Structure 1
Amino acid sequence: MLFLDFNLNPSIIKAIEDQKYEKPTPIQEKAIPSILSGKDLLGCAQTGTGKTAAFAMPILHMLSKDSINQRECNQIRALVLAPTRELAIQIGESFETYGQHLNIQIGVIYGGVTPKRHIKVLKREPNILVATPGRLLDLSEQVYVDLSSIEIFVLDEADRMLDLGMIKDVKTIISKLPKVRQNMLFSATMPKEISKLIHSILRNPVKIEVKSNLTDERDIKQQVYFIDEPDKTSLLLHLLKDKSFESVLVFVRTKIKADKVSKAINIANIRTKAIHGDKNQSERLKALELFKNKEIRVLVATDVAARGIDIEKLSHVVNMDIPNIPETYIHRIGRTGRAGMGGTAVSFCSSQETAFLKDIEELQGGSIEVMEI
């Protein structure tokens, strides 16, 4: 199947061709026709499978088609909720990319910057709004944003919102939306609380599950080193001597450790930045930009960035700390091996983390290759 087979707006097809894409990913192939038919959709897919484009393309098509019929254009007609600033920005960029030849306005709002900036965004009357729940709720309660004309609602990374304690805000926002609308919910995992949310907002949804064997389908090589906690930084510096570690995303558990590890890498004359919740938005965006442009070789991050970084040709993900939630591991290593490209995920496991590693292997249904130090 080709993108041409979806009969999308020619302007969207042109934007897709500009990106050199021809064939849709499995989730795009399954989701786009269902969304175009107006059905609610439940998508279960890991990060990096192309799900943002799976909903962005048909939404842009439907809004562009309706505008031909002289419908009201200066209203927010599609709302996408995302758990983090980075992911909201990434989704906004996808809409801009595929809608670059359309007269459709995109707005993105998130926490961490002055509300005045986002009030300006809303005054430009976007047709599609991408937002994090907290900031959207704040602006809605201050009557800066009107949700009464929403026709399409997308809840992305629902399980991550649950992890971050955002579900209450999400439910409040949903209560403000029109009762009649098309709904889409995407989640990598389906915990009980998310299942309850699904039943409350989706009506007879089309269910799409894209199972991903990370080591095979996405060509991610997974390795683990068993090492004492105090020796992890030394091992990382040793591995970074290997020039095959071209572009490396390092995950740590705490903000303090992120800064400490970043400093140690810089001292070793390897350009790096740290990104975590204590960094202001401009610092985080600058670090991401430097990393995307290959101006720095290593980015050290806490899980705040696990689902919001989309870097082409990311060669390695390093888990200096094994996450205690196995799904978090999946999201982390999903930063590499994207769009059919290969990558390597390296984990450092201390004696206190062996139980976490076992949970990860059980989730994946296979053991991870053990490396000798």
Structure 2
Amino acid sequence: MKFEQLQINEPILKALAEVGYSEPTPIQEQAIPPVLEGRDVLGCAQTGTGKTAAFAIPILQRLGAPREKQSPKRPVRALILTPTRELALQIYENFVAYGKYTGHTSTVVFGGVSQVPQVEALHRGVDVLIATPGRLWDLMGQKKVSLSGVECFVLDEADRMLDMGFFPDVKRIIRTLPQKRQTLLFSATIPAEIADLADSLLTDPVHISVTPTATPVEAIRQCVYMVDRCNKRALLAHVIKGNGMQQTLVFTRTKHGADRVARDLKKAGISADAIHGDKSQGARQRALNDFKAGKVVALVATDIAARGIDISGLPFVINFDLPEIPETYVHRIGRTGRAGLEGTAISFCDGAQMSYLIDIEELTGRRIEEVEEHAYPMTGEQPAEPEDKPQCRRSSQGGQGRRGGGSRSQQPKKKPAQPKAEPAQKQPQKPAAAKASEGEAAARQPEREGGGSGQRRRRRRPSSAARPEGVKPPEAPAAKPAAVKPAAAKPAAARPTQAAKKPAAAPDKKTPPAAEQKRPASVNRKKASVSRGGRRPRDNDSAQVETKPLPAKPLSDSLRARIAAKVASVLSGHRD
């Protein structure tokens, strides 16, 4: 069949002839007619079978004649969402090539670059917008683009869109689209999740499946090397050099792994470069252009960055790490063997990835040939690593014991140290009540001494020479003799003055003078209890208890008579 038989317009046929298209591929032959009729389509075809042309050609024809340039704003009439920058650029280039003579304008927006030229292109007006979900949602939030005039919506590589976590952004964008629109969903694989999504987006769709889901093309030779993970990088260099590979696309699981593999290949004398999401769009494009031009032998990429890489005649694809999702394996090897050409897909499998290999063989329905004789055969030591890891975790859990010093056998030696820490924790709690009595005693101290705060400061700094003769310093503060306060530094006459100030210390007692005399002793007893509670007694407290005499008071006649009687009875007992 020829494109002319699909009722394609002359301007588009002219552009197709210039790019070398004469006969449609199976997916194009089945998808173009229903899209021209305005129906929704769910298309499934392998990577490299021409899905882009299958929706780009009919969309350009359905847009009809371009609108007048005098229009103040040219609304977006067709929206194509793709998961990666590389794929967005590829689709944009195809739209430009197919619509060369139609007069329609196209633009592409994606992250990683400045949005200024993209916004300027949107302000000039475009008919077809190709975008990645993240950057498009950002521009919609800034009110830089409106999707109210979209007539056709295309969700390309839908399975990868969901795997990369773009589904929330995609749902938000779909809610802003007009309800009356044509929706096309194309994907290399259609798992159950994509089928559910299609049911919610498409209305009476036409199902197109050129080949069984996720079946690799027969022209690709597939083989697998069983190798320990520690020898994978050495095996990679050996395979590339031994087979004289000049253009090889290597897939890794992580971004860090891509950079590390590229560095090791350079050390082995093989020109290599890496592309992944952490690199700028300029660096990724330069690496891709150098790879296409043959300046780089090996291009190491992650799954996200490699989606959309279209290199005609790519001979080799190497899976440095087997993917966890079997469908991803189909995407990877689909980079080679395009347009009926032959290609080779090589995979490295270690002991931990055996289950991935089994899933891939079940999905593809064929057994992958194993290369048994090579320079780095699997030794069987790698599968033993998972058994060692629990031991490492157990030792790490005992890190608290080692932090204290030693292994678990040494932990009983530390148990006696725990009771030592308990008194240290309880010791500050024990004198809590004593500290309150100490505060009360300290509050009464200025009143007892009958002086102000300034006088107390001056009396706290006398030299040791001012101590009265015959008074020995207390034994408790012997370690700090300089802090001892002399007891006789204040005249004894100061106490009656204090007593005179507060004559009603104990109004209920029958003998107020005696109660007043016992008050200083009670204060000292409180301080003594504080000392017994754990606090070191203060120097001035001990000095007051031992050296300050109470003033003499006259005795009453009745008391004198009682004392005399008592003395007489004692003396009479001695005489007997």
Bin of the TM-score, shorter chain as denominator length: over 0.9
Q: Do structure 1's residue 137 and structure 2's residue 137 form an aligned pair?
A: yes
CA distance in 1, matches of 2:52, 2:70: 26
CA distance in 2, matches of 1:205, 1:42: 6
1:227-246 aligned within 5 A: 227-242=227-242, 244-246=244-246
- Percent identical: 52
Q: Which residue of 2 aligns with 1:67?
A: 66
Q: Deviations over 1:169-189 (max 9, x none)?
A: 111111101111111011223
Instruction: Tell whether the 8 Å contact from 1:291 to 1:299 is kept in structure 2 after alignment.
Output: yes
Aligned to 1:241, the other structure's residue is in SS state helix
Q: Which residue of 2 aligns with 1:328?
A: 328
Q: Do structure 1's residue 187 and structure 2's residue 192 form an aligned pair?
A: no
1:187-266 aligned within 5 A: 187-211=187-211, 213-216=215-218, 219-242=219-242, 244-266=244-266
Q: Do structure 1's residue 90 and structure 2's residue 71 form an aligned pair?
A: no
Q: Which residue of 1 aligns with 2:148?
A: 148
- Letter of the 1:125 counterpart: G
CA distance in 2, matches of 1:168, 1:44: 23
Instruction: Tell whether the 8 Å contact from 1:147 to 1:177 is kept in structure 2 after alignment.
Output: yes
CA distance in 2, matches of 1:304, 1:52: 18
Q: Which residue of 2 aligns with 1:358?
A: 358
- Letter of the 1:107 counterpart: T
CA distance in 1, matches of 2:85, 2:371: 35
Aligned to 1:67, the other structure's residue is in SS state coil
- Structure 1 residue 71: deviation in Å? 12
Q: Do structure 1's residue 163 and structure 2's residue 166 form an aligned pair?
A: no
Q: Which residue of 2 aligns with 1:278?
A: 278
- Letter of the 1:141 counterpart: G
Identify the range of structure 1 (241-250 vs 154-163) with the bigger mean alpha-carbon deviation: 241-250
Q: Which residue of 2 aligns with 1:81?
A: 81
Q: Deviations over 1:103-130 (max 9, x none)?
A: 1111100111122232122123111000
CA distance in 1, matches of 2:244, 2:42: 39
Higher percent of residues as strand: 1
Aligned to 1:279, the other structure's residue is in SS state coil
Cα separation, partners in 2 of 1:68 and 1:255, compared to 1, 3 Å? closer
TM-score scaled by structure 1?
Answer: 0.95
TM-score scaled by structure 2?
Answer: 0.62
CA distance in 2, matches of 1:69, 1:302: 43
- Structure 1 residue 305: deviation in Å? 2.2
Q: Which has the larger radius of gyration?
A: 2
Q: Which residue of 1 aligns with 2:28?
A: 28
Cα separation, partners in 2 of 1:211 and 1:159, compared to 1, 3 Å? same
CA distance in 2, matches of 1:35, 1:356: 38
Q: Deviations over 1:287-311 (max 9, x none)?
A: 1111122221210001112322111
Q: Which has the higher contact order (CA 8 A, sep 6+)?
A: 1
Q: Deviations over 1:73-109 (max 9, x none)?
A: 8221000000111111111111111112221111100
Instruction: Tell whether the 8 Å contact from 1:306 to 1:331 is kept in structure 2 after alignment.
Output: no
Q: Deviations over 1:180-219 (max 9, x none)?
A: 1111011223334322321222110111012154242xx1
Identify the range of structure 1 (31-40 vs 205-214) with the bigger mean alpha-carbon deviation: 205-214
CA distance in 1, matches of 2:110, 2:68: 32
**Which residues of structure 1 form unaligned runs of 5+?**
none
Instruction: Tell whether the 8 Å contact from 2:66 to 2:103 is kept in structure 1 after alignment.
Output: no
**Which residues of structure 2 form unaligned runs of 5+?**
375-576
Q: Do structure 1's residue 44 and structure 2's residue 35 form an aligned pair?
A: no
Higher percent of residues as helix: 2
